[in-house]
A and B are shown apart, each in its own frame.
Chain A
Amino acid sequence: MFQSVEEVQERFREGRYIASRRVATVVFLAARMGRPVLIEGPAGVGKTELAKTLSEVSGRPLIRLQCYEGLDEGKALYEWKYAKQLLYTQLLRERIGELIADAPSLPDAVARIAGQEDAFFSFRFLSPRPLLQAILATEPVVLLVDEIDKAEPEFEAFLLEVLSDFQVSVPELGTVGARHIPFVVLTSNNARELSDGLKRRCLHLFIDFPAPADELAIIRLKVPEVPAELAKAVVNAVQKIRAMDLRKLPSVSESLDWARSLVILNARELDPAIVESTLSMLVKHEKDLERVKGALDKVLAD
């Protein structure tokens, strides 16, 4: 997939994603070693974006599994299309009737129907969910398991099983193995501790808020309309706000939103009035907002 760490960096850059050397190294290693990557870090630093960009630059389709509380195997792996199965049996009632019409005894009739079971338990009536999709895919894919920490530990254990041998057994159909090992990216916000087993399987990548220079580069790349001076001022202010003791620190996605809104408002520089009116793009909690507003002159100082 990639020949060197530099190539990863280069291609991600083309995909409009600034990957630090660390990020690029881990992606490179994961591609080489065929290992899943577990990405941890605060919300909005580009964990999901990394997987999306990866799919883009490698030309592999992205299959996304969004985790949430209550996610179970059925929703993640496969489900039988019960309604369709029922509908078909109704429609085919006559044919079924014909089939067993001349059966001499009840056990015989049952045996004949059992002989046709395959017709109803086939891939035709199976609706594959993300995990099975990734396994059945005819071309290599990127599988994104988003916010794995939101799912229950039981699901995590199940996922671990799937990730360790990339095969799934559907009782009615037998075992299905993956044709290509998907590139798996898991993300976590650390809402709870993940199991050791899962961590052991994965390469671990912690993405923190970017360094000022990187953040500037990201803003210039994603919001090219923003003037250079303004972008610098934005990064400067965001860095200062991050140093404050807030409930929710502004992330890269928030600073991008802020930069965009400043562009829409035609701002040339950060004056207190415009900052105050757009600050809610950056700081999302009422109390935090008050605190930042109180220290606005410090935030805007060079």
Chain B
Amino acid sequence: MTETPISTAEVLGNFVQALSTGRIEVIDLTQTLTPEFPQIALPPEMGQCWPFRIEEVSRYDERGPGWYWNNFSCGEHTGTHFDAPIHWISGRDLPNNSVDTIPVQHFVAPACVIDCSEQAKLDHDYLMTVADIERFEAIHGRIPKGAWVLMRTDWSQRLDPEAYQNFDETGQHTPGPSAEAARFLVEQRDVLGFGSEAIGTDAGQGYHLRPPYPCHYYMHGAGRYGLQCLSKLDRLPPTGAVLICPPLKIERGSGSPLRVLALVERRA
């Protein structure tokens, strides 16, 4: 089959038409920013990420009779957010490692979704293995270079913040990738980044892995990205979805809250 050159307008025109007919569905993978949504918790003597806080400036009242608006505050890593390589010490000297300098092409990219929801249901500390990845590839094909790998755990369905954080006296218990899996994705599959439904890309007990927080260490050390606090990964197909996830353009920003959208093609 010979390729017929088509104009840019034609590609985008088809795209717009597919959107309008519902052939391409847009799915919001973002948690709503609310003061109740938990933030990552570090030991109290360390610096802390601000939770999301919001305060009215005015609401059609004496502070501003005709308009409603708010001020809000949060950290770069509050709510559904993007991790840039500069976030981790292993990625601190890489070029284009902060949210303002990352090539924007990376903000639109395909995603593979590896379903670990059954395992995470049984084991809150579940670590996704290389075997899980290979099993996925046996069915859905090899993970393409430059794709996001999203670990579906259905953890975002834990609406109660206490269940979402899942702390006990030994710390947090949430699923994530094993050190070997994180390294495999970076070195063997050249992925764009790793995304999780839990509060971090690393498991809750990730500090006790070798190296500590392996997903952060390997991904950011190789200039790859992270997405966390994603939701509704159960609505995505294993392959074929395209993520749109541009973080805020913060100068030397290590990350940013963002809206994550997935484009999914439906059968005609």
Binding partners A and B: no
Interface residues of A (CB under 8 A from B): none
